[in-house]
Amino acid sequence: MRKLFTLIFKEVRVTFRDPGAVVLMLVVPLALTLAVSAAFGGGQVTIEALPVLVLNHDAGDIGGYLMTAFDSAAVEGMVNATLVEDERAARAAVESDAAVALVIIPPDFSEQVARAGDDQEAAAVTVDIYASPLRPIGVSVVRSIVVSFVERAGMTAQGVRLVLGDLVAAGHLAPDDTAGMTVVGERLGARVETLEMSGVRPAVEVISVTGRAFDWLNYFAPSMAILFLMFAATGGGRTLLAERQGGTLSRLLVSPTSATLILVGKMSGVAVAGLLQVAVLWGATSLTGADWGEPLPVLIALVLLVISATGLGAVIAAWARSEAQAGALGTTLVLAASALSGNFLPRMNLPIWVQTVSLAFPNGWGLELFTRIQAGATLAGVLPLLGWLALLTVIYYVIAAVGFRRQLV
C-alpha cells in the first residue's frame, strides 16, 4: 500500500509541477468558462437596443401605428426605433451596420391591410426590410415584430369587413352608408384594443423543470471541465509510454514492485490528479455563479467520470506504440468525442444519432448526467446513467488490461 501511495503521489506531483499541464488542466477551462459567462451576460443571451430605422410612405393611418409596435411593452428595451425621412441615408446606415434594418412601409400599406382576406382582391401584405446581413438574429427580431403587427392589423380589418357585411346583409346598415360603416369600424377597432389590453388573450403559465431558464454558464462549466479532464487523463496515460521509451519503466519493472502495482499506481495517480482538477474547476466556476446541481450526485458523477476518462487514457497507453502516437491518438479521440457529445454546443441540438454515437465516450455520458442533475435529479434518479458509465469504464479497463499484458509480457 505504501508503494501504491508513493506512485500516486509522485504522479500527482509531476503533473502539477508542469506549468503547461496546469495551464491546460485549469487555466484554459476556467478562461473559457469565464469567456462564456462574459459572452452570454452571466448566462442568458440578451438582445437589447437594436437600432432600427422606419420609413413610412403609407398614405393611410395604419403605417403610423407600426412605431407603437416597436415601443410596446412586449419588446421593451429590445428595439430602439427611429422614424426617418431620408431613405438614402438610412440605407447607408444599414450598409455600415449602424442600424440593424430599415423597415419601409409601402404607400398602399393601409389599403393592402384593408383588403386582406377579401376574396376578390386579396393579396399578400408586404413590408420591405433592408437588413444588415451581419446581424441576422437582430433582423429576425425586427421581422417578427413587423409580422406580428401586420397580422393583427390584417385580422382586425378582416373582422371589421365580415361584421359590416353581416350588418348590411341583415339590413342594419345600408350598403352605401359609408359614415355608418366608419363609425362601426372605429368602434370595433377600439373595442378589440380594449379587450386585448384587458387581458382577454389566453395566458401561458411557464413551468421550468429546473426552476430557471437555460443558462449557458451552467451548461459550459461542467462541459469544459469534462473536456479538459479528458485531455489530462489521456495525456496522463501517455506518460507511461514516455517512461517506457525513457527506460525508467524497465527499471521499475525489475524492482520488487509488481508490474500490476506499477500500472495501478500510475493510473491511480492520473485519476487523483484528475479528481483534483475537476474539484478545482467545480469550486472555481461555482464562485462565478455556475450551478452544477446537488452536491452528492455531482460528486459521484465526477468521480466516475474521472475513473472512466483515466480508463480511456489507459486504453491509449496500452495500445499505442510510442508517446507521439499516444499523444496524437489521445487528442484526436478527445476532440472527436467533444464534437459529437456537445461540449461546444448544447447537446440536445445535435441529431439523435450523433448523441447516441457520443455515448461511446465519457463526454457523452458526462453531459447527459449533468443535464439530469441540473434538472433536479437526485442520485437515485441518475443511477441508471451512472450504471451505464460504469459499464463503459469496465470495458475500457478490460481493453487496456489486454493491451498492457501484451506490452509487458
Partner 1 sequence: MRHILAIVRSDFLREFAAPSALIFFLVLPLIFTATVSAGLSGMMGGADTPTEITIPVSVVFQDSGPLVDVFVAALQANRLEIRPVTSIPQDGFALTIPEHFVQQVLHGAPTTLTLRVDGNDNRSVAVQQAVDAAIRQFGTAGAIALAGTEELALHAPFQTEVEQTAFAAQLLVDVITVLEASPVGTQTTWATYTTDEALATNTQQASAGQLVTWVQITLLATSAVLVNERVNGTLQRLVVTPAKRATILTGKLVARLLLGLLQMTILFLSGILLFNVSWGQDLSAVVAVSLAFALAVTGLGLLLATLVKTPGQAGSATTGLAMFLAAIGGAWWPLEITPPLYQQVVQVFPTTWAMRAYTRILAQGAGVQALWLELSVLLGFALFFFTLGVLRFNKMAVK
Give every CB contact of residue 344 below 8 A, 6+ residues apart in sequence.
Answer: 223, 338
**Contacts with partner 1 in 147-166 (CB under 8 A)?**
147-148, 150-152, 154-160, 162-163, 166
Q: Report whether 281 contacts 225 (CB < 8 A).
A: yes
Residue 81's H or E segment, with its range, is strand 79-84
**Contacts with partner 1 in 91-110 (CB under 8 A)?**
91, 94-95
> Cα(218)–Cα(240) distance, rounded to whole angstroms?
35
In angstroms, give the least distance from the CB of 172 to partner 1: 4
Residue 55's H or E segment, with its range, is strand 50-56
The residue with cell 346598415 is 173
In angstroms, give the least distance from the CB of 391 to partner 1: 22
Among 59, 348, 391, 394, contact with partner 1 (rule: CB under 8 A): 348
Smaller CB distance to partner 1: residue 210 or 257? 210
Q: Report whether 183 contacts 172 (CB < 8 A).
A: no
Among 275, 306, 329, 385, contact with partner 1 (rule: CB under 8 A): 329
**SS3 call for 198:** coil
- Reference 227, options 308, 331, 334; nearest CA is 334
Q: Tell me the number of residues near partner 1 by CB under 8 A.
A: 116
Q: Looking at the chain, how many residues does it have?
A: 409
Among 73, 208, 247, 254, contact with partner 1 (rule: CB under 8 A): 208
In angstroms, give the least distance from the CB of 32 to partner 1: 6
- Reference 62, options 156, 129, 195; nearest CA is 156
Only one of the segments 136-144, 254-262, 282-290, 299-307 lies at the binding site for partner 1 (rule: CB under 8 A); that segment is 136-144
Angle between helical axes of 295-319 and 362-374 (0-180°, round to 10): 180
- Is 205 a binding residue for partner 1 by CB under 8 A? The answer is yes
Smaller CB distance to partner 1: residue 134 or 398? 134
- Is 351 a binding residue for partner 1 by CB under 8 A? The answer is yes
Among 76, 88, 120, 349, contact with partner 1 (rule: CB under 8 A): 349
- Is 244 a binding residue for partner 1 by CB under 8 A? The answer is no
Only one of the segments 62-70, 80-88, 210-218, 305-313 lies at the binding site for partner 1 (rule: CB under 8 A); that segment is 210-218
> Cα(119)–Cα(107) distance, rounded to whole angstroms?
22
> Cα(297)–Cα(236) distance, rounded to whole angstroms?
26
**Contacts with partner 1 in 165-184 (CB under 8 A)?**
166-167, 170, 172, 184
**SS3 call for 270:** helix
What character string, x for contact with partner 1 (CB under 8 A) and - otherwise, covers 10-49? --------xxxx-xx--xx--xx--xx-xxxx---xxx--
